[in-house]
Homo-oligomer: A and B are copies of this chain.
Amino acid sequence: MNVLLEFLLRFVAQLQSPTLAFLIGGALLAATGSKLTIPGSIYQFIVFVLLMRIGIEGGIEIREANLAEMLVPAVFSVLIGLVIVVLGRIFFSLLPKVKMEDGIATAGLFGAVSASTLAAAIVLLEEESMMFEAWVPALYPFMDIPALILAIVLANLYLKRKHAGGTHPVRIFQIVKDSLRGAALSALVLGLLLGLFAQTESVLSSFYDPLFRGFLSILMLILGMEAYARAKELRSVAPWFALYAVVAPVVHGALGFALGYLAHILVGFSPGGVVLLSVIAASNSDISGPPTLRGGIPSANPSAYIGASTSLGTPVAIAVCIPLFHSLAQVVFNL
Protein backbone atom coordinates (compact mmCIF):
# COMPACT_ATOMS: atom_id res chain seq x y z
CA MET A 1 0.00 0.00 0.00
CA ASN A 2 2.81 2.25 1.02
CA VAL A 3 4.67 1.43 -2.17
CA LEU A 4 1.58 2.11 -4.18
CA LEU A 5 1.00 5.44 -2.54
CA GLU A 6 4.62 6.41 -2.87
CA PHE A 7 4.55 5.34 -6.46
CA LEU A 8 1.46 7.40 -7.13
CA LEU A 9 2.99 10.48 -5.57
CA ARG A 10 6.21 9.93 -7.43
CA PHE A 11 4.34 9.36 -10.65
CA VAL A 12 2.51 12.65 -10.35
CA ALA A 13 5.82 14.33 -9.58
CA GLN A 14 7.35 12.66 -12.61
CA LEU A 15 4.76 14.22 -14.85
CA GLN A 16 6.65 17.40 -14.17
CA SER A 17 10.03 15.88 -15.00
CA PRO A 18 11.46 17.39 -18.15
CA THR A 19 11.76 13.96 -19.73
CA LEU A 20 8.09 13.22 -19.50
CA ALA A 21 7.00 16.79 -20.09
CA PHE A 22 8.83 16.91 -23.40
CA LEU A 23 7.38 13.54 -24.39
CA ILE A 24 3.88 14.84 -23.75
CA GLY A 25 4.77 18.13 -25.43
CA GLY A 26 5.77 16.27 -28.58
CA ALA A 27 2.50 14.36 -28.64
CA LEU A 28 0.62 17.64 -28.17
CA LEU A 29 2.46 19.25 -31.05
CA ALA A 30 1.55 16.36 -33.32
CA ALA A 31 -2.03 16.31 -32.08
CA THR A 32 -2.51 20.01 -32.80
CA GLY A 33 -1.06 19.66 -36.28
CA SER A 34 1.88 21.93 -35.58
CA LYS A 35 4.31 22.46 -38.43
CA LEU A 36 7.22 22.44 -36.03
CA THR A 37 9.55 19.60 -36.98
CA ILE A 38 12.95 18.43 -35.87
CA PRO A 39 14.88 17.57 -39.05
CA GLY A 40 16.10 14.01 -39.57
CA SER A 41 19.75 15.03 -39.56
CA ILE A 42 19.38 16.71 -36.16
CA TYR A 43 17.75 13.57 -34.80
CA GLN A 44 20.62 11.39 -36.00
CA PHE A 45 23.12 13.76 -34.44
CA ILE A 46 21.26 13.81 -31.13
CA VAL A 47 21.12 10.02 -30.93
CA PHE A 48 24.82 9.88 -31.73
CA VAL A 49 25.77 12.37 -29.01
CA LEU A 50 23.58 10.70 -26.37
CA LEU A 51 25.00 7.26 -27.01
CA MET A 52 28.56 8.51 -27.19
CA ARG A 53 28.05 10.20 -23.83
CA ILE A 54 26.70 7.01 -22.28
CA GLY A 55 29.42 4.92 -23.90
CA ILE A 56 32.38 7.15 -23.09
CA GLU A 57 31.23 7.66 -19.50
CA GLY A 58 30.84 3.91 -19.11
CA GLY A 59 34.14 3.17 -20.82
CA ILE A 60 36.06 5.55 -18.57
CA GLU A 61 34.66 4.05 -15.41
CA ILE A 62 34.94 0.47 -16.58
CA ARG A 63 38.71 0.93 -16.58
CA GLU A 64 38.70 0.62 -12.83
CA ALA A 65 35.78 -1.75 -12.59
CA ASN A 66 35.94 -5.39 -11.70
CA LEU A 67 34.43 -6.81 -14.84
CA ALA A 68 33.89 -10.17 -13.22
CA GLU A 69 31.00 -8.53 -11.39
CA MET A 70 29.41 -7.99 -14.75
CA LEU A 71 29.10 -11.69 -15.42
CA VAL A 72 25.91 -12.46 -13.52
CA PRO A 73 23.97 -9.39 -14.69
CA ALA A 74 25.14 -10.07 -18.26
CA VAL A 75 23.88 -13.63 -18.14
CA PHE A 76 20.61 -12.41 -16.64
CA SER A 77 20.32 -9.86 -19.43
CA VAL A 78 20.62 -12.56 -22.06
CA LEU A 79 18.07 -14.60 -20.17
CA ILE A 80 15.61 -11.73 -19.92
CA GLY A 81 15.90 -11.01 -23.63
CA LEU A 82 15.15 -14.64 -24.46
CA VAL A 83 12.35 -15.05 -21.94
CA ILE A 84 10.58 -11.91 -23.16
CA VAL A 85 10.50 -13.26 -26.69
CA VAL A 86 9.24 -16.67 -25.58
CA LEU A 87 6.55 -15.08 -23.42
CA GLY A 88 5.48 -12.90 -26.34
CA ARG A 89 5.42 -15.89 -28.67
CA ILE A 90 3.09 -17.71 -26.26
CA PHE A 91 0.92 -14.65 -25.63
CA PHE A 92 0.27 -13.97 -29.30
CA SER A 93 -0.25 -17.66 -30.12
CA LEU A 94 -3.12 -17.72 -27.64
CA LEU A 95 -4.93 -14.94 -29.45
CA PRO A 96 -7.33 -15.13 -32.35
CA LYS A 97 -6.87 -13.13 -35.54
CA VAL A 98 -3.22 -12.31 -34.97
CA LYS A 99 -0.74 -12.99 -37.74
CA MET A 100 1.89 -15.02 -35.92
CA GLU A 101 4.91 -13.36 -37.59
CA ASP A 102 3.61 -9.97 -36.47
CA GLY A 103 3.37 -11.21 -32.92
CA ILE A 104 6.84 -12.71 -32.86
CA ALA A 105 8.37 -9.59 -34.40
CA THR A 106 6.63 -7.45 -31.77
CA ALA A 107 7.95 -9.68 -29.01
CA GLY A 108 11.42 -9.34 -30.54
CA LEU A 109 11.21 -5.57 -30.49
CA PHE A 110 10.05 -5.55 -26.86
CA GLY A 111 12.85 -7.93 -25.91
CA ALA A 112 15.33 -5.61 -27.56
CA VAL A 113 16.45 -2.36 -25.94
CA SER A 114 15.73 1.33 -26.45
CA ALA A 115 18.65 3.71 -26.30
CA SER A 116 16.42 6.67 -25.55
CA THR A 117 14.63 5.00 -22.65
CA LEU A 118 18.02 3.99 -21.26
CA ALA A 119 19.26 7.58 -21.56
CA ALA A 120 16.17 8.90 -19.79
CA ALA A 121 16.68 6.46 -16.92
CA ILE A 122 20.33 7.40 -16.60
CA VAL A 123 19.41 11.07 -16.35
CA LEU A 124 16.92 10.30 -13.60
CA LEU A 125 19.42 8.23 -11.59
CA GLU A 126 22.06 10.93 -11.97
CA GLU A 127 19.65 13.58 -10.83
CA GLU A 128 18.59 11.54 -7.84
CA SER A 129 22.22 10.54 -7.20
CA MET A 130 21.38 6.85 -7.15
CA MET A 131 24.65 5.10 -7.94
CA PHE A 132 25.01 2.30 -10.47
CA GLU A 133 27.95 0.32 -11.80
CA ALA A 134 29.62 2.04 -14.71
CA TRP A 135 29.25 -0.99 -16.94
CA VAL A 136 25.48 -1.28 -16.66
CA PRO A 137 24.78 0.51 -19.96
CA ALA A 138 27.02 -2.11 -21.54
CA LEU A 139 24.36 -4.71 -20.70
CA TYR A 140 22.35 -3.26 -23.59
CA PRO A 141 23.67 -5.58 -26.34
CA PHE A 142 23.49 -8.61 -24.05
CA MET A 143 19.71 -8.32 -23.97
CA ASP A 144 19.16 -6.69 -27.36
CA ILE A 145 20.94 -9.08 -29.67
CA PRO A 146 19.69 -12.42 -28.22
CA ALA A 147 16.11 -11.13 -28.29
CA LEU A 148 16.33 -10.12 -31.93
CA ILE A 149 18.00 -13.38 -32.91
CA LEU A 150 15.50 -15.54 -31.08
CA ALA A 151 12.56 -13.66 -32.59
CA ILE A 152 13.92 -14.11 -36.08
CA VAL A 153 14.65 -17.80 -35.47
CA LEU A 154 11.18 -18.45 -34.03
CA ALA A 155 9.47 -16.62 -36.86
CA ASN A 156 11.35 -18.57 -39.46
CA LEU A 157 10.70 -21.90 -37.73
CA TYR A 158 7.04 -20.98 -37.66
CA LEU A 159 7.00 -19.98 -41.32
CA LYS A 160 8.88 -23.10 -42.29
CA ARG A 161 6.30 -25.24 -40.59
CA LYS A 162 3.49 -23.27 -42.26
CA HIS A 163 4.71 -23.38 -45.85
CA ALA A 164 7.00 -26.37 -45.67
CA GLY A 165 10.45 -25.36 -46.83
CA GLY A 166 9.50 -21.97 -48.11
CA THR A 167 11.74 -19.81 -45.96
CA HIS A 168 15.28 -18.60 -45.86
CA PRO A 169 17.92 -20.14 -43.63
CA VAL A 170 18.43 -18.00 -40.53
CA ARG A 171 21.92 -16.58 -40.54
CA ILE A 172 22.60 -15.86 -36.90
CA PHE A 173 26.00 -14.35 -37.45
CA GLN A 174 24.47 -11.99 -39.97
CA ILE A 175 21.89 -10.85 -37.41
CA VAL A 176 24.58 -10.21 -34.81
CA LYS A 177 26.53 -8.19 -37.34
CA ASP A 178 23.43 -6.28 -38.43
CA SER A 179 22.63 -5.42 -34.84
CA LEU A 180 26.09 -4.24 -33.99
CA ARG A 181 26.24 -2.21 -37.18
CA GLY A 182 23.03 -0.36 -36.39
CA ALA A 183 23.51 3.31 -35.59
CA ALA A 184 22.60 2.98 -31.91
CA LEU A 185 24.78 0.03 -30.93
CA SER A 186 27.66 1.26 -33.11
CA ALA A 187 27.71 4.56 -31.26
CA LEU A 188 27.44 2.91 -27.86
CA VAL A 189 30.24 0.44 -28.56
CA LEU A 190 32.42 3.12 -30.15
CA GLY A 191 31.91 5.30 -27.09
CA LEU A 192 32.79 2.43 -24.76
CA LEU A 193 36.00 1.71 -26.65
CA LEU A 194 36.97 5.38 -26.73
CA GLY A 195 36.24 5.77 -23.04
CA LEU A 196 38.20 2.64 -22.26
CA PHE A 197 41.29 3.23 -24.37
CA ALA A 198 41.59 6.97 -25.06
CA GLN A 199 41.90 10.07 -22.91
CA THR A 200 38.39 11.26 -23.50
CA GLU A 201 37.76 12.86 -20.10
CA SER A 202 38.10 16.42 -21.31
CA VAL A 203 35.96 16.05 -24.42
CA LEU A 204 33.37 14.23 -22.32
CA SER A 205 33.16 16.96 -19.73
CA SER A 206 33.41 19.85 -22.17
CA PHE A 207 31.01 18.61 -24.82
CA TYR A 208 29.15 15.31 -24.55
CA ASP A 209 28.15 15.76 -20.94
CA PRO A 210 26.77 19.33 -21.09
CA LEU A 211 24.65 18.48 -24.13
CA PHE A 212 23.22 15.30 -22.60
CA ARG A 213 20.09 16.58 -20.90
CA GLY A 214 19.22 19.12 -23.54
CA PHE A 215 19.54 16.62 -26.35
CA LEU A 216 17.52 14.11 -24.34
CA SER A 217 14.75 16.68 -24.01
CA ILE A 218 14.62 17.09 -27.78
CA LEU A 219 14.71 13.34 -28.32
CA MET A 220 11.70 13.01 -26.03
CA LEU A 221 9.89 15.63 -28.10
CA ILE A 222 10.59 13.61 -31.24
CA LEU A 223 9.44 10.39 -29.59
CA GLY A 224 6.25 12.11 -28.49
CA MET A 225 5.53 13.35 -32.02
CA GLU A 226 6.21 9.94 -33.48
CA ALA A 227 4.08 8.20 -30.85
CA TYR A 228 1.11 10.28 -31.89
CA ALA A 229 1.80 9.92 -35.61
CA ARG A 230 2.13 6.13 -35.45
CA ALA A 231 -0.98 5.66 -33.32
CA LYS A 232 -3.00 5.64 -36.54
CA GLU A 233 -1.00 2.69 -37.83
CA LEU A 234 -1.46 0.81 -34.62
CA ARG A 235 -5.19 1.24 -34.99
CA SER A 236 -4.96 -0.58 -38.33
CA VAL A 237 -3.90 -3.84 -36.64
CA ALA A 238 -5.58 -6.06 -34.05
CA PRO A 239 -6.15 -4.37 -30.67
CA TRP A 240 -4.12 -7.13 -29.00
CA PHE A 241 -0.99 -5.33 -30.05
CA ALA A 242 -2.05 -2.24 -28.14
CA LEU A 243 -2.82 -4.34 -25.08
CA TYR A 244 0.55 -6.05 -25.29
CA ALA A 245 2.33 -2.72 -25.73
CA VAL A 246 0.79 -1.36 -22.55
CA VAL A 247 1.20 -4.39 -20.32
CA ALA A 248 4.41 -5.98 -21.56
CA PRO A 249 6.83 -3.21 -20.50
CA VAL A 250 5.61 -3.46 -16.90
CA VAL A 251 5.84 -7.25 -16.86
CA HIS A 252 9.27 -7.25 -18.49
CA GLY A 253 10.47 -4.58 -16.12
CA ALA A 254 9.27 -6.63 -13.17
CA LEU A 255 11.17 -9.61 -14.52
CA GLY A 256 14.24 -7.42 -14.84
CA PHE A 257 13.76 -6.16 -11.31
CA ALA A 258 13.44 -9.67 -9.92
CA LEU A 259 16.58 -10.94 -11.62
CA GLY A 260 18.37 -7.71 -10.74
CA TYR A 261 17.43 -8.24 -7.12
CA LEU A 262 18.75 -11.77 -7.32
CA ALA A 263 22.01 -10.37 -8.71
CA HIS A 264 22.03 -7.92 -5.82
CA ILE A 265 21.91 -10.81 -3.39
CA LEU A 266 24.30 -13.02 -5.32
CA VAL A 267 27.00 -10.56 -6.34
CA GLY A 268 26.04 -7.25 -4.77
CA PHE A 269 24.56 -5.65 -7.88
CA SER A 270 23.80 -2.02 -6.95
CA PRO A 271 20.25 -0.66 -6.48
CA GLY A 272 20.81 1.78 -9.36
CA GLY A 273 21.94 -1.15 -11.46
CA VAL A 274 18.76 -3.02 -10.60
CA VAL A 275 16.69 -0.03 -11.73
CA LEU A 276 18.60 0.24 -14.98
CA LEU A 277 18.27 -3.49 -15.64
CA SER A 278 14.52 -3.22 -15.11
CA VAL A 279 14.28 -0.27 -17.45
CA ILE A 280 16.39 -1.98 -20.11
CA ALA A 281 14.06 -4.96 -19.84
CA ALA A 282 10.95 -2.74 -19.93
CA SER A 283 12.17 -0.76 -22.93
CA ASN A 284 11.66 -1.72 -26.55
CA SER A 285 13.95 -0.99 -29.43
CA ASP A 286 12.99 2.09 -31.44
CA ILE A 287 15.99 2.98 -33.56
CA SER A 288 17.93 -0.03 -34.78
CA GLY A 289 15.66 -2.96 -33.91
CA PRO A 290 13.10 -2.25 -36.64
CA PRO A 291 15.47 -2.53 -39.61
CA THR A 292 17.00 -5.72 -38.21
CA LEU A 293 13.57 -7.28 -37.84
CA ARG A 294 12.49 -6.16 -41.29
CA GLY A 295 15.56 -7.85 -42.67
CA GLY A 296 14.97 -11.02 -40.68
CA ILE A 297 11.17 -11.37 -40.79
CA PRO A 298 10.18 -9.67 -44.06
CA SER A 299 6.63 -10.96 -43.99
CA ALA A 300 5.82 -9.38 -40.64
CA ASN A 301 3.82 -6.18 -40.89
CA PRO A 302 5.89 -3.26 -39.58
CA SER A 303 2.75 -1.30 -38.73
CA ALA A 304 2.09 -3.87 -36.02
CA TYR A 305 5.45 -3.96 -34.31
CA ILE A 306 6.67 -0.43 -34.98
CA GLY A 307 3.25 0.94 -34.11
CA ALA A 308 3.06 -1.03 -30.87
CA SER A 309 6.55 -0.05 -29.86
CA THR A 310 6.66 3.60 -30.86
CA SER A 311 3.17 4.71 -30.07
CA LEU A 312 2.61 2.85 -26.81
CA GLY A 313 5.55 0.74 -25.67
CA THR A 314 8.10 3.53 -25.46
CA PRO A 315 5.79 6.06 -23.77
CA VAL A 316 4.78 3.41 -21.21
CA ALA A 317 8.40 2.45 -20.58
CA ILE A 318 9.39 6.08 -20.05
CA ALA A 319 6.33 7.44 -18.29
CA VAL A 320 5.35 4.45 -16.20
CA CYS A 321 8.25 2.03 -15.86
CA ILE A 322 11.07 4.43 -15.08
CA PRO A 323 9.32 6.03 -12.08
CA LEU A 324 7.78 2.69 -11.07
CA PHE A 325 11.01 0.75 -10.78
CA HIS A 326 12.87 3.69 -9.36
CA SER A 327 10.41 4.09 -6.53
CA LEU A 328 10.23 0.33 -6.09
CA ALA A 329 13.98 0.28 -5.60
CA GLN A 330 13.75 3.05 -3.05
CA VAL A 331 11.28 1.03 -1.05
CA VAL A 332 12.94 -2.36 -1.50
CA PHE A 333 16.44 -1.11 -0.75
CA ASN A 334 15.31 1.31 1.95
CA LEU A 335 16.87 4.33 0.30
Measured CB to CB, the residues of A under 8 A from B are: 15-18, 20-22, 25, 28-29, 32-42, 44-45, 48, 127, 177, 180-183, 186-187, 190, 193-194, 197-200, 202-203, 206-208, 210-211, 213-215, 217, 288
Contacts and interface: CB of A to CB of B under 8 A. Distances in A.
A181 B33 contact: yes
Contacts of A198: 15-18, 20-22
A150 B77 CA distance: 62
Nearest to A32: B181
Contact of A186 (B35, B183, B208): B35
A83 to B, nearest CB: 28
26 contacts: A15-B198, A16-B198, A18-B199, A21-B198, A21-B199, A28-B190, A29-B186, A34-B183, A35-B181, A35-B182, A35-B183, A36-B48, A36-B186, A36-B190, A38-B44, A38-B45, A38-B48, A40-B41, A41-B41, A42-B44, A203-B217, A206-B210, A206-B213, A207-B210, A207-B215, A208-B214
B187 A36 contact: yes
Contacts of A202: 18, 127, 213
A241 to B, nearest CB: 27
Contacts of A39: 40-41, 44-45
Nearest to A198: B21
A166 B261 CA distance: 74
A192 B215 CA distance: 19
A135 B242 CA distance: 41
B34 A186 contact: yes
Given A18-B203, A25-B190, A41-B42, 10 more contacts: A21-B198, A28-B190, A29-B190, A35-B186, A36-B186, A206-B213, A206-B214, A207-B210, A207-B211, A207-B215
Given A16-B199, A36-B190, A194-B25, A217 B207 contact: yes
A94 B197 CA distance: 43
Contacts of A22: 194, 198
Nearest to A26: B190
Contacts of A35: 181-183, 186, 288
Nearest to A182: B35
A203 to B, nearest CB: 5
Contacts of A48: 36, 38
A181 B34 contact: yes
A41 B217 CA distance: 18
Nearest to A34: B186
Nearest to A190: B25
A194 B21 contact: yes
A183 B36 contact: yes
Contacts of A206: 210, 213-214
